[in-house]
Structure 1
């Protein structure tokens, strides 16, 4: 009878260890899932902020300065500004 008692102690010890490991592992999986969800939510909000910034910039920047008759760009800050064409247009006026 003492052998079966030792086996029962071993069985219940293994069961308790398995349950403890299961609880620990499930907790680990849940925390990883919560962290991943928080990261996805942060990325979504960051993308929305970037989109809003782009829309605001598009809304608030002035339209390209062009003379209405000749189509010459008169804004020197524009990278397509052509000084020669601008001066010719001004001389023609």
Structure 2
């Protein structure tokens, strides 16, 4: 009879140890998954910030005036635009 009690104690001890190990292992897997998700979200936000910075830089940097190879400014919105020089260049192109 004493040996059956010892076997039962051993069985239930193994069962309880297995349950504790399972809970601990599941907890570590969940925390690892959460940590990975947080890292992915952080990397996504970093990419978005870098894209926003690049777009802002592109938007705020002054653009080069539109010029041809001769140095003629063809953009009428440019303060250095010379209508007479532009018309002479167009007349020369058409001839």
Deviation at 1:66, TM superposition (A): 5.0
**Structure 1 counterpart of 2:34:** 34
Unpaired stretches in structure 1, ≥5 consecutive residues: 73-93
Runs of 4+ in 1 over 6 A off after TM superposition: none
CA change 1:69–1:11 in 2 (3 A) is closer
Normalised by the length of structure 2, the TM-score is 0.69
Q: Tell me the number of residue pairs that the alignment of Structure 1 and Structure 2 aligns.
A: 72
Normalised by the length of structure 1, the TM-score is 0.70
Deviation at 1:65, TM superposition (A): 3.4
Select the structure with the greater relative contact order (CA < 8 A; seq sep ≥ 6): 1
Unpaired stretches in structure 2, ≥5 consecutive residues: 73-95
Larger Rg: 2
CA distance in structure 1 between the aligned counterparts of 2:2 and 2:21, rounded to whole angstroms: 28
